[in-house]
């Protein structure tokens, strides 16, 4: 399959080139030329299938023309060595728990898949690949752990100084080996800008083999569609007539929402989506006005969503032919303050005995506020609450048990390199890593 740029100023490329390049030469994001619809029989049989079985079918639709079936199955099955359970919270509201992977965040799915796919391509070429990834929290840990000790791959994680939780930071600054953490004196948007500019720099690209593991990479964001199908499959086993399904998606860089929209385009019977935002609500403003106005991000307790210029907005525009009306027909938006997020964590824990992290709290409150009669809501619980220990504990007034996986990370010693916001310093650093 070929992948085209959302800016449509360059020729379509192969899966290999889309994955290795990350960003198109015209600064657009890659999209698959074909989004296949599955036959009704697939949806009728899904409730009998495992996460791995469903994910392999979906993966074949995107990657099957370029990767041998046995290799692709190996990649999918190895990446998804954990479950993603759907849990009933109250009445017609469910939580899709995406925090059962190695770093306890949803990004384990895309990061582990991409690491294995890139490793597959790299074994054929035998040259060093440099992965650049900007993180507002969970992406860095998922990518770093997914790529740890992958032969021929170096990973550089850029994160905003003082703007990720201690647990998140420890998950990618304590690994060493082929993982380097760069602590940038700015915001997530500054980190993302450095990565994007690196891909556009002729000298860097002439001397280095660069790619990205952010959700701008097709191998990172497309696998996120897997768990929308699996969520629906589980719902079919819980509800006799799983109609009127609404997905509420905590939204930062919008890779997660875009993957869900693509799942819908493939025939998944979803009625609509809710983009749940914190105070960084540029997408909500777009829905209201039809005008997209990016602005600097502001810090919130749902820090992984602190994005003022979401990259994947370009993919949503492309998917809907830049039609504001069509986008609004499928997606609504909400925005919550820190106080509202805290109240949701507190009330849900007290009333439903269910513990949410700050991001999942945005998604869950959107269901509480926005579900219509007859609708069934699924919120994406994107990270384990213990990753935001101080915030969650202060909200619910009780200690939160820390999983063993996180305790192990906390015992490691932080190793990071301070990096100014200026691009020249970042470029000089990269050129001296070879």
The answer as to whether 384 is a domain residue is: yes
The three-point CA angle 125-211-230 to 5° equals 95
Domain coverage including residue 307: 83-105+220-396
pLDDT for res 240:
80
The answer as to whether 9 is a domain residue is: no
At residue 10, what are phi and psi to the nearest 5 degrees?
-130, 165
Spatial neighbors of 410 by CB under 8 A, at least 6 apart, are 166, 167, 170, 402
The answer as to whether 324 is a domain residue is: yes
The answer as to whether 36 is a domain residue is: no
> SS3 of 356, please?
coil
Spatial neighbors of 227 by CB under 8 A, at least 6 apart, are 51, 84, 96, 98, 106, 109
How many other β-carbons are positioned within 10 Å of the β-carbon of residue 295? 12
Rounded to whole angstroms, the Cα distance separating 432 from 434 reads: 6
pLDDT for res 290:
96
pLDDT for res 42:
93
pLDDT for res 23:
85
- Quick check: 221 and 258 in contact, CB under 8 A? yes
* Best CA proximity match to 256, nearest among 107, 420, 156: 107
DSSP structure class, residue 402: P
Rg value, the chain, Cα: 20
One pLDDT digit (tens) per residue for the chain, 434 residues: 999 999 999 999 999 999 988 889 898 999 999 999 999 999 989 999 999 999 999 999 999 999 999 999 999 999 999 999 999 999 899 999 999 999 899 989 999 999 999 888 887 666 788 999 998 777 888 889 888 888 888 999 999 998 888 888 988 999 988 999 999 999 888 998 999 899 889 999 888 888 878 778 899 999 999 999 999 999 999 988 788 999 999 998 899 999 999 999 999 999 999 999 999 999 999 999 999 999 988 889 998 898 889 989 999 999 999 999 999 999 999 999 999 999 999 999 999 999 999 999 999 999 999 999 999 999 999 999 998 999 999 999 999 999 998 888 888 889 999 999 999 999 999 998 86
The answer as to whether 188 is a domain residue is: no
- Give the domain CATH number at 243: 3.40.50.1100
- Quick check: 238 and 95 in contact, CB under 8 A? no
The answer as to whether 296 is a domain residue is: yes
* Best CA proximity match to 387, nearest among 418, 411, 409: 409
The answer as to whether 290 is a domain residue is: yes
Spatial neighbors of 387 by CB under 8 A, at least 6 apart, are 99, 104, 105, 137, 138, 165, 167, 168, 357, 406
Cα dihedral across residues 134, 161, 166, 177: positive or negative: positive
The answer as to whether 299 is a domain residue is: yes
- Quick check: 161 and 416 in contact, CB under 8 A? no
Number of domains in the chain: 1
pLDDT for res 434:
65
């Amino acid at each position: 399959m070929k992948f085209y740029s959302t800016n449509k100023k360059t020729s379509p490329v192969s899966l290999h080139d889309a994955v290795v390049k990350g960003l198109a030469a015209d600064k657009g994001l890659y999209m698959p030329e074909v989004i296949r619809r599955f036959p009704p029989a697939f949806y009728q049989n899904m409730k009998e299938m495992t996460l791995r079985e469903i994910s392999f079918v979906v993966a074949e639709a995107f990657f099957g023309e370029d990767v041998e079936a046995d290799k692709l199955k190996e990649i999918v099955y190895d990446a998804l060595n954990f479950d993603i359970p759907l849990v009933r919270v109250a009445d017609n509201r469910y939580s899709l728990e995406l925090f059962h992977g190695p770093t306890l965040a949803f990004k384990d799915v895309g990061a582990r898949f991409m690491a294995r796919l890139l490793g597959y391509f790299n074994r054929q070429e035998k040259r060093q690949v440099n992965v650049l990834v900007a993180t507002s929290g969970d992406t860095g840990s998922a990518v770093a752990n997914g790529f740890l000790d992958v032969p021929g791959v170096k990973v550089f994680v850029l994160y905003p100084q003082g703007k990720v939780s201690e647990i998140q930071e420890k998950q990618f600054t304590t690994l060493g080996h082929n993982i380097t953490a760069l602590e940038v004196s700015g915001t997530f948007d500054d980190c993302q800008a450095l990565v994007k500019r690196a891909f556009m720099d002729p000298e860097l690209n002439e001397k280095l083999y660069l790619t990205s593991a952010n959700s701008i990479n097709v191998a990172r964001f497309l696998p996120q569609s897997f768990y929308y199908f699996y969520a629906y499959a589980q719902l079919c086993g819980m509800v006799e007539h799983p109609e009127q399904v609404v997905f509420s998606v905590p939204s930062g860089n919008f890779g997660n929402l875009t993957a869900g929209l693509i799942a819908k385009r493939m025939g998944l019977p979803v009625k609509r989506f809710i983009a749940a935002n914190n105070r960084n609500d540029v997408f909500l403003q777009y829905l209201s006005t039809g005008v997209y106005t990016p602005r600097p991000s502001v810090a919130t307790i749902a820090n992984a969503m602190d994005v003022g210029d979401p990259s994947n907005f370009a993919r949503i525009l492309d998917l809907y032919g830049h039609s504001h009306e069509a986008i609004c027909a499928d997606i609504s938006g909400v925005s919550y303050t820190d106080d509202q997020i805290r109240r949701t964590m507190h009330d849900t824990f007290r009333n439903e005995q269910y513990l949410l992290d700050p991001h999942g709290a945005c998604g869950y409150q959107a269901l509480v506020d926005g579900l219509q009669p007859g609708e069934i809501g699924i919120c994406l619980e994107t990270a384990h609450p213990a990753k935001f220990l101080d915030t969650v504990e202060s909200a619910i007034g009780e200690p939160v048990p820390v999983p063993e996986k996180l305790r192990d990370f906390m015992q490691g010693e932080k190793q990071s390199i301070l990096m100014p916001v200026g691009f020249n310093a970042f470029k000089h650093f990269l050129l001296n890593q070879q």
